[in-house]
Structure 1
């Protein structure tokens, strides 16, 4: 029985899943919208929202110069960057998350991504979907 076992395994080992989702979150932050299978998109949604939330919580502090911040505020920014870094291994995507994406999404109380079902993939008939950042829909 799979009671209380959340998450899809997607036919991968745990390390492969971590790497897959890390790369997918980086692509989502970089491009604003990616196409993947529906199952991967639904799993990615929670991981991406959690990672983006770390940027949103300190977006007003990260916009200031480090010299303007108190010791506690600097510690909050460093902590948030380290927590987001656990998922987002790509430094360019991490910088973009804190510099561009998080300030745009700072007014939202959550739900930073949306999943849009699109088509079935030719070849294996897998249901495909777009996952995109909510505020960047027109720009992508």
Structure 2
């Protein structure tokens, strides 16, 4: 799978993505840079697909990735069943313009 390096070491990049995805699933939307948003979207979609089938194994896999247990509960009780009939495309990326300081393209990543 192709992913962005995001200018960070592997451990930092993975921790950042885990934080982004946890926040996305907790809040329903996040504002971040385009590259980070695309990476977070890919991971979030895989976790939502995992949550469509509520098994102990799937819950443990989600717990191993997400930082907050209450987010895992929300993922399996609310988000997974909500998208049960949808074959994919659970998130959307909307460009909101360049960041003022450095001109990086900012995006809104949200659950549909």
State how 1:31-70 maps to structure 2 within 5 Å. Answer: 31-58=27-54
Distance apart, 1:87 and its partner CA: 1.8
Distance apart, 1:92 and its partner CA: 1.3
Name the TM-score, length of structure 2 as normaliser.
0.94
Pairing partner for 1:104 from 59, 62, 82: 82
2:42 maps to 1:13: no
Name structure 2 gaps, 5 residues minimum.
Answer: none
Aligned residues: 112
Alpha carbon RMSD of aligned pairs, Å? 1.2
Name structure 1 gaps, 5 residues minimum.
Answer: 59-76, 135-140
> 1:11-55 CA distances to partner (integer Å, 9 max, x unpaired)?
111111111111111111111111000111111111110011110
Cα distance in 1 between the residues matched to 2:70 and 2:13? 21
- Aligned partner of 1:95 in structure 2 is 73
Moved over 2 A (4+): none
Name the TM-score, length of structure 1 as normaliser.
0.76
